[in-house]
Amino acid sequence: MKPDGGSLIGFGSSGLGGALFNAFDPARDAFLEPSFQSGTVEDVERALQLAAAAAPVWAQLPGAQRNKFLSMVADNLEAKAADLVARAMQETALPEARLKGEVARTAGQLRLYGEAAERGDWLDARIETALPGRQPLPKPDHRSMLRPLGPVVVFGSSNFPFAYSVAGGDTASAIAAGCPVIVKAHPAHPGTSELVGRLILHAVRDCGLPEGTFSLLFDAGFKIGQALVKHPLVKAVGFTGSLKGGRTLADLAAARPVPIPVYAEMGSINPLFILPGALAERSAALVDGLHASANVGIGQFCTNPGLIVLQRSAPAEQFIKNLAAKLSATPEGTMLTAGIHKNFVSHTADRAHQPGVKVIVRGKIASACGAAPVWFETDALDFLSNHALSEEIFGPSSLVVWCQDRAEMLAVAHDLAGNLTATLHAGATEAKEQGDLVAILAAKAGRVILNSYPTGLEVSPAIVHGGPYPATSDGGRSTSVGTRALNRWARLVCYQSFSDDLLPPELQNANPLGLLRLVNGQWTDKLVS
């Protein structure tokens, strides 16, 4: 299975001749074959017409059939994992084991969200039965649930070519919710994107679903993405990437004649606070754990711990000295793209010249897109007075912030902008006194972690991958990972005084799907008599 370079517009392809571009192998510092053709505005129009035609079909499609489709996509990915991983290795320089694991996670996500669609409890079905004799006014029958929004546009990320890309979490959750999807492929891994897109379309065919269920468009630049977000038939957008990119799309969507939601997962510095008791208990384990978390995927994780906050003390200085030694010995790795590498070099160079900032580790680099840890330190007062130090540097770079005392540590916590995660390491005896710090961190992040590390994300019903702006564009009201991710692609509809046969099955008296429903104020899976 090899890519051939064309957009996938339903079962058709683009023949209209947008600009050509090639994928790039950052490890070999060379372009890859074949060339990919950017989409055109005509392609956008065709993809949206197909998606709009598919939307009502999907809106009526039972959860069990959504599950069957997503499960088939998962099977297809696993069956072709070797081809997918081989291409992705070239396009991303990520190691084989990581990419194999990512395919497995992506397949697992597809199945989990499919099962959620079939189970249907995410629909929040509610029933209030009529009381015709109520005084002073009769009470009508009301039944309500979530219904799919319609065509969704997904922007694949650069750093997870499977899990946050063409068949990744946004696509899987939108389809599970009953929405057709159009993916704008990330230009860093177009070949991987095309292969995955074809596997999705195989499942569309095999399940007998409308071809507008899925399309994949390429673009070397920004024109197609912007045209998609502005198109009147698009009802919502999912995005994983930079703050600048996400905010641009959110602003475009908010300025439309009919605004639409943009669920953008953007920047995060993922602060990690280390208290004295944690260092006293397990300094060496913290060196190993933090080193591993900060360097997994060459630091190119959205949950990378980018800010380390400590109180100054002899053990803390020794801890950072030991960590710096381990970081200095870290072999260089190849970054995802030449652009990411260039930004990493320039942003770390800028940070080295910020007032009060010292370089504590500067890894040596031999190859074109190589990166090794570059760490900085500063004092809390310098950090608090310089907004530039709160900006994310994507890659293996973190900033150590030294606090004089607990008050300064709390001030740093208070000063944080929104983050995907915030982590606290505390000793056994001091942990229970951290209520104040935990409350601050819970107000700043979508996930607060105790005595562990932010990287590595369990895809489950309880996970939250979101957070206040700028971590996400919706202020952390939703999550892009876990079964709650389906809720982003739906709106509430209430049926008043309906006869049973005109209601969706989820709201019918007999409860044919066996849903847990809120019936007259009580959660129950019983039928309504």
Marked catalytic residue, from 91, 194, 265, 392: 265
Q: Which of residues 491, 512, 514, 527 is near its own copies by CB under 8 A?
A: 491
State whether residue 78 is helix, strand or coil. Answer: helix
Beta carbon of residue 11, minimum distance to its own copies (angstroms, whole number): 25
CB–CB of 12/43 below 8 Å? no
484 makes contact with its own copies (CB under 8 A): yes
Which residue blocks in 271-313 are alpha helix, DSSP H? 276-295
CB–CB of 227/233 below 8 Å? no
- Alpha carbon distances (Å) from 483 to 116, 156, 230, 238, 516: 7, 19, 28, 15, 16
107 makes contact with its own copies (CB under 8 A): no
Q: Which of residues 448, 455, 506, 508 is near its own copies by CB under 8 A?
A: 448
Supply 84's token pair: 């997918």
Q: Which of residues 468, 508, 511, 513 is near its own copies by CB under 8 A?
A: 468
Q: Which of residues 9, 200, 234, 463 is near its own copies by CB under 8 A?
A: 463
Number of residues that bind its own copies (CB under 8 A): 79
- Residues of this chain, 138-197, that bind its own copies according to CB under 8 A: 139-140, 142-144, 147, 149-150
Compute how many other C-beta atoms are within 10 angstroms of the C-beta atom of residue 321. 11
Beta carbon of residue 161, minimum distance to its own copies (angstroms, whole number): 21
Beta carbon of residue 391, minimum distance to its own copies (angstroms, whole number): 14
| Phi and psi torsions of 340, nearest 5° | -65, -40
Q: Which of residues 179, 464, 486, 513 is near its own copies by CB under 8 A?
A: 464
Supply 256's token pair: 């439309």
Beta carbon of residue 340, minimum distance to its own copies (angstroms, whole number): 25
118 makes contact with its own copies (CB under 8 A): no
Supply 289's token pair: 């754990």
474 makes contact with its own copies (CB under 8 A): yes
328 makes contact with its own copies (CB under 8 A): no
Beta carbon of residue 106, minimum distance to its own copies (angstroms, whole number): 16
- Residues of this chain, 247-286, that bind its own copies according to CB under 8 A: 250-251, 254-255, 258-261
Among candidates 423, 229, 400, 417, which has minimal Cα distance to 316? Answer: 400
Marked catalytic residue, from 302, 369, 377, 403: 302
Contacts by residues 291-297 (CB-CB < 8 Å, ≥ 24 positions apart): 291/323, 291/326, 291/327, 291/330, 292/453, 293/453, 293/454, 293/455, 293/456, 294/327, 294/373, 294/396, 294/398, 295/327, 295/330, 295/333, 295/373, 295/396, 296/455, 296/456, 297/94, 297/98, 297/159, 297/455
DSSP string, 22-62: EEEETTTTEEEEEEEEPP-HHHHHHHHHHHHHHHHHHHHS-
- Residues of this chain, 220-249, that bind its own copies according to CB under 8 A: 235
Beta carbon of residue 307, minimum distance to its own copies (angstroms, whole number): 18
Instruction: Reply yes or no on whether 369 is catalytic.
Output: no
387 makes contact with its own copies (CB under 8 A): no
Nearer to its own copies, 363 or 482 (CB): 482
429 makes contact with its own copies (CB under 8 A): no
Instruction: Reply yes or no on whether 391 is catalytic.
Output: no
- Residues of this chain, 33-62, that bind its own copies according to CB under 8 A: 56, 59-60
What positions carry a catalytic annotation? 265, 302
